[in-house]
Amino acid sequence: MPEKHRRNFLKDKEARSILNQVNEKFKVNLVQTLGSRARVELIETEFAQIYCIDKKPLFAKMGEELFPTLMADELFASVAKVVVDMGAIPYVCKGANVMRPGIRRFDGDFKKGDLVLVVDEKHGKPLAVGEMLYDRSEAESSKEGAVVRNVHFVGDRLWGFLKEIC
């Protein structure tokens, strides 16, 4: 059954505010990436606020947490990545945090609290967006335990909604 939702375009001031939040949080220049005339649409559901830029759902906000959706291909080139082995995929896609034994390597620089993209080792496909629980040096030297808190993953409620509307 389809989720109920409301859609509306943001005024320029509101759109600039959300784009500035995204620029600051993810250290990307969206104006450079998407162009200065990008239109921002807000889709409000009972579980999330989704920000579509030029009809593409690039960001979501759940509670106070703003993060890129797994459809934000434009941003993935500049985001740090955590590459996991094939055995970790079913767990990550069910919402589990990323554990150190399942991590093959880290690509890019990050520190504790940064958002990263979790990808599979074979194809490099995005599996999840997560928050780093350690700085890069600490994550590399750890041997066990959770390293990435899973925020949004393939198969979650947001993913299903995005697949439905796109």
List, as one string, the DSSP characters of 149-164. EEEEETTSHHHHHHHH
- Please tell me the predicted confidence (pLDDT) of residue 161: 95
Higher pLDDT, residue 166 or 56:
56
Amino acid occupying residue 131:
E
- Please tell me the predicted confidence (pLDDT) of residue 76: 85
Higher pLDDT, residue 32 or 111:
111
In angstroms, the CA 148 to CA 116 distance is 8
Q: Which residue, 97, 129, 134, is CA-closest to 112?
A: 134
Query: 6-71: which CATH architecture?
Result: Roll (3.10)
Q: Determine if the pTM surpasses 0.85.
A: yes
Domain span(s) for CATH 2.30.130.10 in the chain: 75-157
Residue 84 has pLDDT above 50, yes or no: yes
Higher pLDDT, residue 2 or 142:
142
Superfamily of domain 75-157: PUA domain (2.30.130.10)
**pLDDT tier at 68, thresholds 50, 70, 90:** very high
In angstroms, the CA 122 to CA 150 distance is 20
Ranges assigned E (strand) in the chain: 6-9, 40-44, 49-53, 56-62, 65-68, 81-84, 98-99, 103-107, 115-120, 126-132, 146-153
- Please tell me the predicted confidence (pLDDT) of residue 1: 47
